[in-house]
């Protein structure tokens, strides 16, 4: 999922609207699976606030360093603390979510942003999904995505898009399991070390009154 940086940057300049209330999805209806090293502490996904900026940034930097081929953004271009705090301020334009274990340790992140163009106001873009290696395969990724979709539904959004590098099989499987379908292939969206990477463009509709 790489275009998210551009998407979020566009949204950072969008007019600030009144904030959505804190969204919290404990376990999102998905039973936690135990993995070696994970305790039975409750898994919670909630909307991040400016006070989470430091924790968010440290997970985001880890994502860009650990999985450089999953994200087109480079660590050196990641906004600093002040800009991140501004991005995490409550808004109906965007939502940053964090998955927590026992409400303390941030295990994963994802963000969702509404397109600013008038003709696309009912559409949004999910980007930057990342779960720390120690927490993988325990349902955090799914909970984060479900919370993002729930936020979109609460905002009366009708469609959510994302882009994913064609080699990111685990992420593609997750998106497909949540009802995303591939509608396009964008070739050579970014390059690293002389290699170019393609992305699948995926989309999912959100129907009024339906569960996500
Ligand atoms: C993709 C990612 C977010 C998944 O997070 P996670 O917390 O491990 O995922 P979950 O435990 O919630 O698993 C949800 C589903 O994802 C798929 N999945 C996750 N890891 C997988 C793997 N290693 N192989 C195959 N499928 C996998 C499965 O469909 C899984 O459902 P299942 O457990 O019922 O089989 C995580 O692997 C990650 O951070 N990867 C690196 C960054 C990345 O690729 N981000 C996406 C950018 S677009």
Q: In Å, how far from its chain's centre is CA 98?
A: 9
User: What's the pLDDT score for residue 27?
Assistant: 39
User: What's the pLDDT score for residue 119?
Assistant: 87
Residue 140 alpha carbon to ligand 1 centre in Å: 9
Range from 18-32, 40-54, 82-96, 159-173 carrying the lowest mean pLDDT: 18-32
Fold observed for domain 9-156 = Aminopeptidase (3.40.630)
Each residue's pLDDT tens digit, 10-52: 333 222 222 232 344 333 333 344 444 445 667 899 999 999 9
Q: What is the pTM of this model?
A: 0.86
Please state the atom number of ligand 1 nearest to the C-alpha of residue 143: 12
Residue nearest to atom 7 of ligand 1 (CA): 141
Residue 14 alpha carbon to ligand 1 centre in Å: 31
Measured CA angle at 38 (ends 34, 41), to 5 deg: 90
Mean pLDDT of the 68-84 span: 95
Residue 18 alpha carbon to ligand 1 centre in Å: 33
């Amino acid at each position: 999922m790489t275009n998210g940086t551009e998407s979020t940057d566009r949204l950072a300049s969008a007019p600030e609207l009144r904030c959505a209330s804190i969204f919290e999805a404990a376990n999102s209806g998905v039973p936690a699976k135990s993995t070696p090293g994970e305790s039975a502490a409750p898994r919670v996904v909630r909307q991040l606030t400016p006070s989470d900026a430091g924790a968010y940034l440290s997970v985001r930097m880890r994502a860009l360093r650990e999985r450089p081929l999953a994200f087109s953004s480079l660590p050196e271009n990641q906004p600093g603390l002040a800009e991140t705090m501004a991005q995490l301020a409550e808004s109906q334009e965007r939502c940053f979510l964090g998955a927590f274990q026992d409400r303390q340790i941030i295990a994963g992140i994802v963000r969702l942003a509404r397109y600013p163009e008038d003709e696309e106001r009912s559409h949004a873009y999910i980007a930057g999904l990342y779960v720390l290696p120690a927490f993988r395969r325990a349902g955090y990724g799914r909970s984060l995505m479900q919370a993002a979709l729930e936020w979109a539904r609460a905002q009366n959004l009708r469609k959510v898009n994302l882009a994913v590098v064609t080699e990111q099989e685990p992420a593609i499987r997750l998106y497909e399991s949540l009802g995303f379908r591939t509608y396009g292939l964008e070739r050579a969206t970014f390059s690293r070390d002389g290699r170019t990477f393609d992305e699948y463009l995926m989309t999912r509709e959100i129907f009024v009154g339906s569960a996500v």
